[in-house]
Each structure stands twice: as C-alpha cells, then as structure tokens.
Structure 1
C-alpha cells in the first residue's frame, strides 16, 4: 500500500531528534504560555458557572433559569459541545495543521463566551454553553498534539501534566471571582455574573496575541510535504536556543525516513487505533472513563453537599472550592516530574488507585457522619491531589501512544467517548444523587466514582506504555515511516525504533 501523494516525496531527516535534544529554554516557555494558559480560562469559566448557579436562578438575575438547569442541562450541553467539537476539530487538526486550528478554536471559544455574557433567555444561555464547549473540545485536540510535538522528550510528561493541570489555577480564580460576582453590595444581580464571562474574554484575547508567536509543528510540516518550512522553523528555534545558552547544541543522534502524505482518512485512523493498537485503545478509554466519573462524583455536587448537609451559605461555597482547586493543581505540579523519572506505568496506575481508594475512605467517613465541611474538603483535596495528576496523564497518554498522523484525532476520540460517558451521564446521575438530601445517595455517588477510578488504575498497571523520555517516533512509529519500511526496507536502528534519549540526563528548569 503506497502513501505517495502528489507534491510529496520520501525524505530522511533528523528534525524530530533535533527537537528532542534541545535544552529547556525561554522558547519553550513561550509554548507553555501561548498554548497552555487557555486551560486557566477554561477552569475559570467552568467554575464560575457552577458557583453562580444559585444566583442565576434568583429573581432579578436577568435569566429565567433554575439552579438545576445550570448544573444539569447547561453542564451536559457544555460537555456535549466539547465532545462533538473535539471530533470535528480533531480531524481538521491532523489534516490542516496544529497552528491553524488552535487559533480558530480559541476564537470560537472566546466568541461563544462573550455571547454567553449577554444572555437574555434560557435558550440563548444553553446555545452558547454548547458552542463554548464546542470550541474548548477543539482546543484539547490541537493543543495537546502541538505541545507533545514541540516539547523535548525529556520534559514531555511533566510539561503536559502541568499544562493540563493548570485548569485548576483558573478554577481557584473562578471560585474567588464568583464570591465577588455574588456580592450584591458590589454588583447588581444581573451584572456580576456577566462581568465574569467578559473578564475571561479579555484574558483570552491576551493569550491569542501570545499564541500568534507559536510556530506550526515541524513534525506535522515534515509529514505533510513541507520539509523546507519545517527546516526553517527548527533552524530558527536552534539559533534562538544557542544564543540564549551561549554554546552550540549537540549533534542530533538519529534520523528517520518519512514517506510524505497530504492527509489520512478515517478508515486508516480507525484501523490503526483499533486494530494495531487495541490494548492502547482500551487503556485510553479506561483512563478517560475513570477520571470523568470520579470528578463528576465530587465537583458536580460539591455545592449542594456543603449547603445541604453542613449549612454552608451559598455565597461561601466558592472558598471551599478554591481550596479543592489548589489541591488539584498541586498534584500535577509536584508529581509531574515523577512521570518522566519513575515512569508512566507506575505513576499512572498509582495515582488512579490512590485517588479511588481515598474516595472510598471519604464515602465511609461521610456515611458515618464523621466529617464537617472543613474535613470533607480536606478529604476531597487529598483525593483530587492524586486524581488530577492521573486525569492529566490520560491526556498525555492518548497524545503520545498513537502515531503522529492520528494524534489529534486520537486525543479527540478518547476525550469524546470518555467525557460523553462520564461528563454527560455523570452530571445527570450525580446531580440527582447529591441533591436528594439523603446521605446514602451521596455515598453511592462517591462509591461509583471511586470504583471506576480504581478499575482504570488496574488497567493502567497492566497496559500503560513506558513512554517516559522516549521520542514520540519511538513510542509509536509514524504510519508514513512504516509504509516506507514495507516498500523500500531502508536502513534503521537495531533497536527497532527511533533511538530515544532515555540515557540522557537533565533537570526540570523550574
């Protein structure tokens, strides 16, 4: 089967190895800021919506909507938009490039957020919650694929985890911002919640300006017949890094032969993922299902649990959520480096299992009546410290264990399936369980989330791929490279893959 396409040819290149042998530099920080900080906005917005649900349902808010509709229907529509957006934009990302799509998806996300701020009717609010999710779904596919292809293998795990975990930095801001928005001494009922969305738009525009300086992925350019452009991008990066470090870079240690192709169809993608990488597909699906249900078991009902069982005022729940969000961010921040040193299999399985077991313990204590609002929040912090690192590793896993040509679509597919199961069914299920006011129903919600998280941890213990410090081309050889081997059987390394950098040593620059 030939992958030949008009305007393309077979090339042998060291571009992937040149990117992977770069030391950490200011240029890499540009990538982190330009691509990663959008999750802060996502966390801010999602948290604000959850925290202002009670205010939106009050007379004078400007919307005829109930709290249940905000946390149930609107939340489910946001997730449905994210799932459909991931699939739609994910295919386009693999076909037309990372940069074009991460600019477009951010623009869609910001436009929908701005229009949410001027909602005048329930249907309008629902529509633009869906479209906001539609934009953010595309961000997941475009951003994660670009990050993995631009960040050196030595740092890929920790950078990916911290960037995905930065959602919770936004969640802290959203929780605190909602306290201000709910304060009617400062802002009218029909204005405060609108300004929170408007602030997100302003911050997003700043990110959009920074993102313009992020280049297209040289790996994507190379495979799609634009090797001269890929060479220019990599050479410019190398010059910048050498100028910063004040010394020449080491020689790249490997080359790879690529048979270029303009695009790859759905049939090839599906056959690759579900035939050649069946175990990895099971792994990806399990990780997304587990983390989605655990998070929904806690976050979609946390406000109702605090107000119903512990008489916490509605306006004060933001403080508790800010504490939970801090625990979430500290997990990837403090544990991230271990995913590159101790290894993927040990860390993914242990973070999933530990968070699940801790949630089982929390359910037991809650059932016994042994917890207060403060101690329950402390338990949630412990659970989510490990769960956040595990959940971030789910995105890392599906973005690095499948071939380059399917990367964005693979991220989109597993995100959509896992999030649809946990993020659409989850809010509807857990909102009912946590809003009944019965201790047993809330305990059941905790146990469901814990059981699925533990099950995913066991799957990871068996199937997780040892991708730490290995080049992407070694973890999953490009389809175009495999095609060349089948036809021409070119010389390749005796290790059976693209030589990695496992023997190289370095330290996280922070």
Structure 2
C-alpha cells in the first residue's frame, strides 16, 4: 500500500484553505465585485433621481421616501428568499438570476410614465438587488483561503464604493442635464442584465456547496483547476464530510437553534441598525443639501466628493480586519460613524460639511466591509446563504423605514436631530457586534 493510499484524504476546506491566492481567485473576486458595483450604482442613482424628480415632477417628500422605501421592501424579500434559494440550487445560478431581474427592471424604469409605474418597477429592482448581495459575499467567502478570507470580502465590498462613485458621476454629469436626464441614468443601470450572462457561463459554482449536495466529482474538478493554477499536483480526492445537525430540517428555524441563536440575534441587530443609519443618511444627503440652498448641481458635486472617501475606508478596514479581527474592526468603524454623523448634522460651513460627510463615508463603508466579512462566517455551508440572506433581509426592513422616517425627523428637529438618531443606531450596532463569533484565520466551517 502506497503512502498516498494510506493517508487520510483532505477535506474540501483543507484543500481550499491550503491554496495561495491565484488568478482564478482574482477572477471570482472581480466577477462578483463587478456585479456588486453595478448593484451599488443602481442604489446610489435613486438618491440623485429622487432629487431630480422633485424638481421635474414636483413630487413631495413623502412620495420621495416611498420611491426609496419600496425598493428596499423588495430587497428585504429578495435577500430572504435569495439566501434560501442559493442554499438549494447553488450560488452561481441565483447570482446570475438576480443580476438579470434587477438589470431589466432598472432599464424599464427609464420608461416610467408616472410615479405609480416607477414605484412598481423599483420593487422589482429591489427583489434582484436584495438577493444578489448576500449570495455574492457567501460565494466569494467559500472560495477564499482562511488566512485572507476577511480581507477578500472587504475588497469585494469595496466594489460598492466603485459603483456608488459611478452613480455620483452619473448623478453629477447626466441626471441634472435636461428633463430626461434621470431616464438616461436608469438606462445605464440596465447593464447588469447583460453582465448576468457572463456570470452564468464564466464563473464556477462553489465547490463547498457542490460537495454538500453530494456532487463530489464536480467539486473535485473545480478545486483541481485552482490547484493546477497554483502548481499543486497529485492530490488525493476530497473527503466528503457528513452534514452537521444544524444543516437538516427547516433552515430558518436552525438559525435560532441553541448553537446559533446568540450570533443570529446579534447579527440581525447589527444589520438592522447599520441599514437604518446608512440608507437614512445617504439616500437623503443630496436632497438635504438642496434644501440647504446649495442647488441641484452643487449639492451633487458635494455628494461626489463625500462618496470618494468610501474607498480609503474600505482599504483601511481590509487591512485591520486581519490584524484586529472582525469584531473589533466592525465596532471601531461603527463608533467612528456615530461621531461623524453627529458632526455632519451640526455643521454649516461648506468645508465642514464636506469633511464630516467624508468621515461618515470613510467609517460607514469600512463598517459595511467588516459586516459583510463576518456574516457568512457565522454559519456552516448548508446554512450560510440562508443565514446571510435573512440577516440582510432584516436589515432591509430598516432601510424601508429609514427613508420614510427621515422627512418626519427633519420636520421635527432638523438635520441635527436626524443625524443624532443615526449616531444612536451606530452605537447600538457597535455593542451588538460583540455578540458575534470571531473567525479570523479559522476554517470557514469551524463552529
């Protein structure tokens, strides 16, 4: 009997974690990141389009909040169902389907003849957007080696800044120019429908998911292709591991079993609070600046500058998350977001508005990167997309409420009170982050 025949076959996690970062990892990250950036572009565009529709259609603040909130209602449903579907039929399939749905619906929004049609289409856009984000982070985390997994997920989330910056550029150069500028902006948002074909045919399925479904041969071929890219040869086939008890039965109920209930409660609180504060602030910043007397084009220019601070926020979080760990990085960036929110709500001079807004972008988006890194690590492969999807879905409830609540808060206490409320939500999220498990450097399925 040879040494190879007597050795214990490596598990799928062991083989994936033993890999160096290869060009194939880069393609998985870039392919998912482009989809992520296109998502951000669509979400970011609506804040500029709402400000334009106030000017061109004369819509009220209540109607503005409804346009934003209905998209988030779709995102809440999409995130919950998308995670469940991805655990059943695969990560790649659901990723491509969601891109197709929201790309087509966004393009169709350019043809909206009235607010009713626009609201209906924004709900469909939300369905696709909501399902895509947790599935993409789950997908990348299942390929990433343990020693750099958190960093890669933060880099994935950094594509959000690329897309949001693209939306700010479109908002500045396209939306304000002519009565139909917002329609052209929506037309550009149809790009994901085309990109869905690239995802469907050009990216591999998650080998962890394939192995969990008993499709060992397919998982083996994908892992072997990554190993060949890294110059690793003559490995023995993967060892399939039996499903753990939490993977059986009702997946949503399993999230609240004795093993997972504390982390589930904690991650749902973090997602809810971060969504409320983030979308409450950033969906309304262009309109708040317009109301402050800066004009449409000038306020869009300020928003573009504020948006640019997102990228360094991600870069710092990507470094710290493998140095400090997930929980400390997340809580520090959330507390920084709270301080920046208070400052933004109380300043009036242009340099202070831009500076505090950039600080809010820096800390808030760094926190988002850490949040997306820690969420898939909380659950085993059989529950991962479901757990991430439901956490995101609960967060989207807050993103529905926030755009509707902001006009009420502005009327009651102005920008100062509104951003103080956002700061409180950030502080609560920072506290809840300490109920999460720390997985820095650990295998993805370690409990």
Normalised by the length of structure 1, the TM-score is 0.80
Tell me, yes or no, if structure 1 residue 382 matches structure 2 residue 368: no
Q: Which residue, 131, 142, 152 being the options, matches 1:159? A: 152
Per the alignment, residue 136 of structure 2 pairs with: 143
Per the alignment, residue 292 of structure 1 pairs with: 275
The separation in 2 between residues aligned to 1:65 and 1:362, in whole angstroms, is 27
Q: Structure 1 residues 360 and 182, CA, compared in 2 at 3 Å: closer, same or farther?
A: closer
Q: Which has the larger radius of gyration?
A: 1
Measured after TM superposition, the shift of residue 282 of structure 1 is 2.2
Tell me, yes or no, if structure 1 residue 35 matches structure 2 residue 32: yes
Measured after TM superposition, the shift of residue 382 of structure 1 is 1.1
Measured after TM superposition, the shift of residue 260 of structure 1 is 5.6
Deviates more, 1:133-142 or 1:44-53: 44-53
Measured after TM superposition, the shift of residue 18 of structure 1 is 1.1
Per the alignment, residue 179 of structure 2 pairs with: 189
Q: Structure 1 residues 278 and 335, CA, compared in 2 at 3 Å: closer, same or farther?
A: same
Q: Matches of residues 232-311 of structure 1 in structure 2 within 5 Å? A: 232-242=221-231, 248=232, 258-259=241-242, 267-309=250-292, 311=293
Per the alignment, residue 397 of structure 1 pairs with: 374
Q: Structure 1 residues 459 and 265, CA, compared in 2 at 3 Å: closer, same or farther?
A: same
Measured after TM superposition, the shift of residue 385 of structure 1 is 0.9
Measured after TM superposition, the shift of residue 150 of structure 1 is 0.8
Measured after TM superposition, the shift of residue 380 of structure 1 is 1.8
Per the alignment, residue 383 of structure 2 pairs with: 406
Normalised by the length of structure 2, the TM-score is 0.91
Q: Which residue, 212, 218, 222 being the options, matches 1:223? A: 212
| 1:288/1:391 contact within 8 Å kept | no
Once superposed, what is the RMSD of the aligned Cα atoms? 2.5
Gaps of 5+ in 1: 1-10, 243-247, 477-510
The separation in 2 between residues aligned to 1:255 and 1:341, in whole angstroms, is 31
Q: Matches of residues 496-507 of structure 1 in structure 2 within 5 Å? A: none
> What SS class does the counterpart of residue 391 from structure 1 fall into?
helix
Per the alignment, residue 296 of structure 2 pairs with: 314
| 2:111/2:183 contact within 8 Å kept | yes
| 2:379/2:445 contact within 8 Å kept | no
| 2:69/2:403 contact within 8 Å kept | yes
The separation in 1 between residues aligned to 2:198 and 2:360, in whole angstroms, is 36
Q: Structure 1 residues 144 and 347, CA, compared in 2 at 3 Å: closer, same or farther?
A: same
Q: Structure 1 residues 328 and 266, CA, compared in 2 at 3 Å: closer, same or farther?
A: farther
Q: Structure 1 residues 50 and 96, CA, compared in 2 at 3 Å: closer, same or farther?
A: same
Measured after TM superposition, the shift of residue 405 of structure 1 is 0.7
Per the alignment, residue 171 of structure 1 pairs with: 164
> What SS class does the counterpart of residue 241 from structure 2 fall into?
strand
Measured after TM superposition, the shift of residue 65 of structure 1 is 6.3
Measured after TM superposition, the shift of residue 223 of structure 1 is 0.9
Measured after TM superposition, the shift of residue 472 of structure 1 is 0.5
Q: Structure 1 residues 410 and 200, CA, compared in 2 at 3 Å: closer, same or farther?
A: same
Tell me, yes or no, if structure 1 residue 447 matches structure 2 residue 420: yes
Tell me, yes or no, if structure 1 residue 18 matches structure 2 residue 4: no
Measured after TM superposition, the shift of residue 403 of structure 1 is 1.5
Q: Structure 1 residues 215 and 182, CA, compared in 2 at 3 Å: closer, same or farther?
A: closer
Gaps of 5+ in 2: 1-7
| 1:53/1:70 contact within 8 Å kept | no
Measured after TM superposition, the shift of residue 134 of structure 1 is 0.1
Show CA shifts across 1:471-493 (max 9, x none).
Answer: 1022x3xxxxxxxxxxxxxxxxx
The separation in 1 between residues aligned to 2:105 and 2:385, in whole angstroms, is 23
> What SS class does the counterpart of residue 179 from structure 2 fall into?
coil
Q: Structure 1 residues 411 and 202, CA, compared in 2 at 3 Å: closer, same or farther?
A: same
Q: Structure 1 residues 335 and 78, CA, compared in 2 at 3 Å: closer, same or farther?
A: same
In the alignment of these two chains, the number of paired residues is 439
Measured after TM superposition, the shift of residue 273 of structure 1 is 3.6
Deviates more, 1:82-91 or 1:351-360: 351-360
Q: Which residue, 95, 103, 106 being the options, matches 1:110? A: 103
Show CA shifts across 1:412-471 (max 9, x none).
Answer: 111111220x2011111113323x3x7x332111111111211221222x3232211211
The separation in 1 between residues aligned to 2:233 and 2:299, in whole angstroms, is 52
Measured after TM superposition, the shift of residue 264 of structure 1 is 5.7
Q: Whose helix proportion is higher, 1 or 2?
A: 2
Per the alignment, residue 119 of structure 1 pairs with: 112
Q: Structure 1 residues 93 and 131, CA, compared in 2 at 3 Å: closer, same or farther?
A: same
Q: Structure 1 residues 301 and 163, CA, compared in 2 at 3 Å: closer, same or farther?
A: same
Q: Structure 1 residues 419 and 210, CA, compared in 2 at 3 Å: closer, same or farther?
A: closer
Q: Structure 1 residues 77 and 372, CA, compared in 2 at 3 Å: closer, same or farther?
A: same
> What SS class does the counterpart of residue 147 from structure 2 fall into?
coil
Q: Structure 1 residues 32 and 257, CA, compared in 2 at 3 Å: closer, same or farther?
A: closer
Q: Structure 1 residues 108 and 65, CA, compared in 2 at 3 Å: closer, same or farther?
A: farther
Show CA shifts across 1:193-233 (max 9, x none).
Answer: 22222222236524642553211110011110101111111
Tell me, yes or no, if structure 1 residue 334 matches structure 2 residue 316: yes
| 1:34/1:207 contact within 8 Å kept | no
Measured after TM superposition, the shift of residue 378 of structure 1 is 0.9
| 2:22/2:226 contact within 8 Å kept | no
Tell me, yes or no, if structure 1 residue 325 matches structure 2 residue 315: no
| 2:141/2:376 contact within 8 Å kept | yes
Q: Which residue, 314, 319, 334 being the options, matches 1:352? A: 334
Measured after TM superposition, the shift of residue 180 of structure 1 is 2.2
Tell me, yes or no, if structure 1 residue 66 matches structure 2 residue 55: no
The separation in 1 between residues aligned to 2:94 and 2:321, in whole angstroms, is 28
